[in-house]
Amino acid sequence: MVPARSTIVADTGWLSPVRRSTEWFMNLEEMIKASPDTPWKAVNEIKRLMWMPVIRSYFVLHGVRWGTGWSIYGLPVIQKFRGSAILIGDDFEMRNWFNSNPLGVNHPCILATWAADAKIEIGKAVGMSGARICAQTRVVIGDHVNLGANCSIMDTDFHSLNGRTSAPSFGASAEVILEGDNLIGMQTVILKGSRIGKGSIIGAGSVVAGEIPAKVVAAGNPARVIREL
């Protein structure tokens, strides 16, 4: 006996995102009414839901497990070295469209690993807009971290200081760790070997090149502690 069509749909896990999208569209009027002063948010939600099957497939095809509670606005750029790992926790939010953040997204988020043993580890409830994260060794972003628009995190210099060559040499690499509960201001650059303590805030446009203790506000180039929290 052939199962009813409704049973087949119910048992097909791949169709569950589509089913959830349909439910969202049915509530579209309520979504718009709930945010009459910010209709652009409703537009972004519609676009996100329409693109969700494609975006989900893109992550899976690049070897990145799709988590629960993700909100991905547009396609990122994933460059994953064979054998490396990109691990992302639940409740992840990533904004790639230029108009998905009022601060403006200069380019899609980039997640890149440059060696077989490289790792990018992103915890739970992390948000980013137009971020660039490149790992030759290891980049760790703890739980509840918000990266402002167009931030960059890299654990390598890419090029050697001893020779002026156009080819990356990756001579100097050191892991980068954001311990969690961090707010990183827009356009911040976090360089190799940096560690940002739990609960610390980094001001916009800063360059972090070292260790920032926990529960402080730091800013500048290079970033220095301004005050404790």
Q: Find residue 87's DSSP bridge partners.
A: 121
**Domain regions of the chain by residue span:** 13-61, 69-228
The DSSP 8-state label assigned to residue 183 in this structure reads E
Four-residue CA torsion sign, 103, 109, 114, 119: positive
pLDDT (tens place) for every residue of the chain, 229 residues total: 444 444 333 444 545 555 655 565 556 666 666 665 666 677 777 778 888 899 999 999 999 999 999 999 989 999 999 999 999 999 999 998 777 676 777 789 999 999 999 999 999 999 999 999 999 999 999 999 999 999 999 999 877 666 555 555 556 789 999 999 999 999 999 999 999 999 999 999 999 999 999 999 999 999 999 999 9
Phi/psi of residue 41, each to 5°?
A: -65, -40
**Choices 2.102.10.10, 2.160.10.10, 3.40.50.300, 3.30.200.20: CATH for 69-228:** 2.160.10.10
Residue 17's pLDDT is: 57
Helical (H) or strand (E) element with 46:
helix 39-61
Q: In what order do the strands lie in the sheet with 132-135?
A: 77-79, 110-113, 132-135, 152-154, 189-190, 207-208
Indicate the DSSP class of residue 156: B
Residues forming a β-bridge with 184: 147, 202
Measured at the alpha carbon of residue 192, what is the angle toward residues 189 and 198, in degrees to the nearest 5? 75
User: DSSP E strands: which ranges in 34-113?
Assistant: 71-73, 77-79, 85-88, 93-95, 110-113
Q: What per-residue confidence (pLDDT) applies to 5? A: 41
Which run of H or of E encompasses 146?
strand 146-147
What does the pLDDT read at residue 10? 42
> What pTM did the predictor assign?
0.80
Closest CA to 90 of 49, 117, 127: 127
Six-digit token string for 111:
């997640």
Can you give the pLDDT at residue 8? 37
pLDDT at 49: 81
**Helix residue spans in 12-155 (DSSP H):** 16-26, 28-34, 39-61
Residue in this structure with the two tokens 């800013």, named with its chain if needed: 219
Q: What is the DSSP letter of 173?
A: B
Give pLDDT, residue 113.
97
Rg (CA), the chain: 20
